[in-house]
Chains A and B, each alone.
Chain A
Amino acid sequence: MRVDPVLLAATEPGGQPIHYAAASGVFSLSWLVIVLPVAGAAVLLLGGRRTDRVGHIIGTLAAAASFVLGLVLFATLLGRDGDDRALSQHLYSWIPVNGFGVDVGLLVDQLSIVFVLLITGVGTLIHIYSIGYMAHDPNRRKFFAYMNLFLASMLLLVLGNNFLSLYAGWELVGLSSFLLIKFWEDRPAAATAANKAFYMNRVGDVGLALAIMFMFATVGSTSYADVFGAAAAGVIGYGTLTAIALLLLLGACGKSGQFPLQAWLPDAMEGPTPISALIHAATMVTAGVYLIVRAGPIFDGTQAARTVVVIIGAATILIGCVIGCAYDDIKKVLAYSTVSQIGYMFLAVGLGPAGYALGIMHLVAHGFFKAGLFLGAGSVIHGMDDDQDLRHYGGLWRYMPITWVTFGLGYLAIIGFPGLSGFFTKDRIIETAFDKGGTSGYLLGSIALLGAGITAFYMTRLFLMTFHGKPRWSSEGPAAKHPHESPVSMTGPMVVLAVGSVFAGGLFVLGHSLQDWLEPVAGTGVEGVHTFSPVVLTLLTLVVTAGGFAGAYLRYQMRPVESVARPDTEVSLVTFAARHDLFANTFNETVAMRPGQYLTRFLVWLDLVGIDGLVRGSAAAIGGLSGRMRRLQTGFVRSYALSMLGGAVLVVGALLLVRAG
């Protein structure tokens, strides 16, 4: 067994188990953060049509109240000692069965409060945005109910103080995501996408569930304190630890749309755009990153699992980037961009303690700019009468200036324009990847660098095709479009998010503020030897990014864009593959779906003909036999008499035989 330095460190004196301070004061109200949106959802769902008129207000207020409470908690945490910012609250005993005692409890610490603020903050903004976006939808009340349900589930996920609470939140966000993807459920595509999302998430959930069972079987508990304590104390074997970590990773991949479970996320764009922004960009899909950071003590103990995490992260970066270049659907491009950005986060957290805080930083920054981008996309789609095809846009900046500016800021942030949030966070991830050292470090760093270039390319393509160039739509004729700016309720949140995308990064990096804040939970990396000096690397990144930008500019700004995509037969093999999601769906269908269908059909046949056939066969056999036997009943009295005589003779004969013998 290989000896991990962490294990050595942990077995030194002082490797004590973890105890969290008991929550008191304002923290004893932290359950309200979850309960407020639950109450909102309950009122809206049970209230029925009576609450139609005020549904959106109730929903938004519940989210906002939750956010305010989150702020209060955050402020109180700020006022506490740096070492004393993790508070655990026991609520009640959930599943007590002998040794398996699971409580419902909350843990407010540096990590979870960041998520609480992100979830409720972005969530509230998107609630406000949805008031306008969904204004004409007859089921707006339900939409808000589901969004509240989502907030509650997500908050449970990040606030739980044991893995089973996390699992409950984990599956419930899956449910909310399902409900919201299929929100327009009379569209078969939406219903199918929702089911696909749930199925693939369930595959990941199996991993998470098994990981929890492993923990219980090994440690006898599922609470963070116990499990991490044992992991840090080094009492869990390397094999077990790796198994647990890999199973957790499977769960994380399912929820975060990472390779090989990425195929559901682009399909999930069938849901209303605010949902794409809230769930499938800013919050839920980053839950996998949260899980890995939260389970840091486990991943720290197993280099093997961490290697798998970085491989998945790196692979997903490329997959997302490549496919993102090929799609013409604005939301699908953004979806694949999400996939690849989460790949960056996985890459970061897979690098260990050095990267945990970076992963979270990128996550928060991504939450701002990606939500902003999606809301901007929603605004464009709204203005273009629900047309999502980039090739039907062009020159829109004139018609929707606020959207143009806010979207543009988000766009600059994601490609890493100097000074904006993406610049700080992505740059650091690339740097840390190179710093890993060795061949793997170079490989990972290069992939991350390449990803930055491709990101710049496809995001520029998206931006130029949407807002610049010649309009490829007409304001006359049967397909007339009248692009217009969206109402204030929609542009307001976009502005806020754009501001966030601009400043968030700098805020985190200045004086390592977020990194220091998270340090007690995530630990800090070693300021080791730099493979390249940071300045060189930053310049290199900028050059690559500029290259991507230039490529897109030359291709999509200097040359006219066709309003119809070239057919599959005329494009290169790479484009063809990218247009077909690198054959991920084909693979899933061939490997899982079709064999499953055949197996199902075969089993239905087997059940009917085989097992039930056996049953019916024996019934028929007995029936047939009695059918023959009853022929003996001829109705002739004399033959009955004869058989009676025969019987009597037989009996007497037998008696005689016995007597004689």
Chain B
Amino acid sequence: MNTVPWLTILLIVPAAAAVVVAALPRRHATLAKQLTLAVTLAVLVLAVIATFAYDPDKAGFQFSQSYDWISTFGISYSVGADGISLVLMLLAALLVPVVVLSSWDEVDGDAAGGGRVPAPTAAPDLGTPGGSAGGTGPAGDVEGIGPVGGVGGVGGGAGGTTAVLAAPAPARPVTFPPVETRGEAETPGRRSVPAFFALLLALEAGMIGVFAATDVFLFYVFFEAMLIPMYFLIGSYGPVKEQAQRSYAAVKFLVYSLFGGLLMLAAVIGLYVVSADNLGHGTFDFATLRQMEITPGVQKLLFLGFFVAFAIKAPLFPFHTWLPDAGAQSPTGGAVLLVGVLDKVGTFGLIRYCIPLFPDAADYFAPMVLGLAVVGIFYGALLAIGQRDMKRLVAYTSLAHFGFIALGVFAFTSQAGTGAVLYMVNHGLSTGLLFLVVGFLVSRRGTRDVGAYGGLAKVTPVLAGVFLLAGLSSLALPGTNSFVSEFLVLVGTFTANKPLAIVATCGIVLAAIYVLYLYQRTMTGPIVHPENKILHDLSLREKFVVAPIVALIVALGVYPKPLLDIITPTVTATYADIGKSDPAPPHPVAAYPGHTHPVGTHPVGTRSVATQPGGHS
């Protein structure tokens, strides 16, 4: 192979950088930031170059590489890219530098402590922990899961060894430690900055790896490995004042994902066993496995193993309850990557693994998945309308969006499938931007409670404008990126299953409500809280953070062709592989006579028949 090993480079660069950054002493915070930003930008550039090197018209994986890893079990290090994984890697490579820049001042907290936040804001903050806790689940809940909190303690202990967790969080029955100890237990300054950025880099390596892997076992390894940095990002770098809730959220995220991962591991091993039976030698190679015939009964079991893992990861209704907690308790950057990219692994897995590996089972379970998807669209939207915690709200909107994606994947038409994959990218951008903007608000005001805002459009017009744009993208307004994907999903579903598409389309009304209702409560009306009168508009750094995403949202809305050209062939091949083709329209354009009418002969000639009774033809 004489081609450039793009994927391995994309994988190794952030991984190596993670080690280097982690090894930096704490006091070199700025160096760590700069190094991380440089590396992630380099990864982005590499990913873009790789995208140009990718030939969308070639079938199968490109940039493929394969080395034996554990040859006894037929496990290999194999990577490759197709249209689906390539765009998702691109998304990951794009969002990480954005997140790095957005987290610039968030970790070491001098700014959060009072530099950027006006002094009067800080005082009432301390008085309102109840308000912000209200959204994260009643205080009593945290007490109820004492044992789980204990696990958090163990995790904290592990964190201590990597000098990440300043204070391991044992199960404390007290939800809110008194203010003084809280301040002492963890001031923002005690959080290690290099470790944070090292975790981001490790996460990036994991994300690239999980999309690039073409060996099922390797995929599983990356699938689980991604959890580790994310766990620490939530548990150690979440909201300073909500120690109990954030360790609860981190453990919930971890346990949920591990549970799904375990089922998937069983299914992965099952696949190996089946392949050993069928082929004589066991293998984890994806390309080989998808050629394999599996009996339908076994397919169903293995499908469920993978599906539950992906449904938790995505998440689909009803496996979603970790997402609002994790979304609310992550640092902003973590939330962007969590919802923007990590969750896409779930939907990516559905189209990459569930469907080609188990076509019969996918067919069999499709009605169930479609049902869950549609329920999710409405359930997520309605719950989003009912939230008061902004980050939880955004997390619930994602649930609705994942409903659309799952709908598109399991509608089995190339339009819906392409729309779903494009939706993954678009959702990463629009929800990522929404999380970023909410993060800006929270960092200014110190609370996620919607009620603490109101009338901000007057004080922070640019922030409000970006917020609105992100929201409009979230509700899939034409001209923004999401419209293209949502409409493709719906139109593709419509050709295959009309009632379902009609019901799902009604969900766009709810999307308008949750977005604009949030906007109304935060940005419009009179300023009721005096603290809000002195908020700053976006700083230059923050403008740089949002600018690329804003530009892409508009650009991909107006001209999505480049991405569609990459995605469509792969998706079409995926469905063609399992014998699904797009339903042909009953009266296609070419079907009625005279379609090949030469251009220039004018319609009006036809239309003037209209003088006949009954109107124009």
Enumerate chain A interface residues (CB-CB to B < 8 A): 4-6, 8-10, 12, 14-22, 45, 48, 82-86, 92-100, 164, 167-172, 175, 178, 182, 185-188, 190-192, 194-195, 198-199, 202-203, 205-206, 209-210, 212-214, 216-221, 225-226, 229-230, 232-233, 235-236, 296-297, 300, 352-354, 520-526, 596, 599-601, 603-604, 607-608, 611-612, 615-616, 619-620, 622-624, 626-627
Contact = CB atoms under 8 A, between A and B. Distances in A.
B529 interface: no
Contact of A95 (B145, B488, B506, B615): B488
A615 B477 contact: no
Q: Which 5 A-B pairs have the closest CB atoms?
A: A623-B147, A523-B616, A353-B615, A168-B478, A5-B614
B148 A619 contact: yes
B587 A524 contact: no
Given A178-B516, A623-B145, 6 more contacts: A98-B568, A190-B524, A210-B494, A235-B591, A520-B607, A525-B615
A203 B509 contact: yes
Given A16-B594, A199-B516, A616 B509 contact: no
5 contacts: A16-B605, A212-B491, A217-B583, A236-B587, A596-B385
B472 interface: yes
Contact of B415 (A21, A93, A97, A164): A97
Contacts of B27: none
Interface of B: 137-138, 141, 144-148, 150, 252, 255-256, 318, 320-322, 379, 382-383, 385-387, 414-415, 418-419, 455, 457-458, 462, 465, 472, 477-479, 483-484, 487-488, 490-492, 494-495, 498, 501-502, 505-506, 508-509, 512-513, 516-517, 520, 523-527, 559-561, 564-565, 568, 572, 582-589, 591-595, 597-617
| Overall SS of chain B's interface | helix
Contacts of B527: 186
A415 B615 CA distance: 30
Contacts of B565: 96
B485 to A, nearest CB: 9
Given A230-B587, A353-B610, A600-B385, A185 B524 contact: yes
A218 B585 contact: yes
Contacts, number: 295
Contacts of B601: 19
Given A94-B560, A209-B490, A235-B591, A624 B509 contact: no
Contacts of B516: 178, 194-195, 198-199
Given A19-B599, A98-B415, A600-B383, A206 B505 contact: yes
A601 B607 CA distance: 55
B617 A225 contact: no
Nearest to B320: A611
Contacts of A186: 455, 457-458, 524-527
A557 B418 CA distance: 67
Contacts of B462: 48
B508 A209 contact: yes
Contacts of B572: 98
A616 B145 contact: yes
Contacts of B607: 18, 232, 520-521, 523
Given A16-B606, A98-B414, A620-B144, A185 B487 contact: no
A215 to B, nearest CB: 9
A597 to B, nearest CB: 8
A9 B614 contact: yes
A10 B589 CA distance: 16
Contact of B379 (A48, A603, A615): A603
Contacts of B318: 611
Given A192-B520, A210-B502, A608 B617 contact: no
B608 A520 contact: yes
A209 B487 contact: yes
A608 B137 contact: yes
B581 to A, nearest CB: 10
A619 B472 CA distance: 38
Given A620-B147, A626-B147, A95 B560 contact: yes
A94 B598 CA distance: 24
Contacts of A14: 606, 609
A186 B524 CA distance: 5
B137 A612 contact: yes
A233 B415 CA distance: 27
A235 B593 CA distance: 10
B570 to A, nearest CB: 12
Contacts of B598: 19
A633 B517 CA distance: 55
B137 A182 contact: no
Contact of A84 (B490, B498, B513, B604): B604
B603 A206 contact: no
Nearest to A165: B478
Contacts of A608: 137-138
B506 A603 contact: no
Contact of A607 (B383, B488, B525, B559): B383
Contacts of B517: 195
Contact of B606 (A18, A99, A206): A18
A22 B513 CA distance: 42
A93 to B, nearest CB: 6
A218 B599 contact: no
B247 to A, nearest CB: 13
Contacts of A600: 382-383, 385-386
Contacts of A6: 614-615, 617
A95 to B, nearest CB: 6
B414 A619 contact: no
B399 to A, nearest CB: 10
A17 B455 contact: no
A624 B520 CA distance: 45
A164 B513 CA distance: 23
A522 B616 contact: yes
A455 to B, nearest CB: 29
Contacts of A627: 147
A530 to B, nearest CB: 16
A619 B145 contact: yes
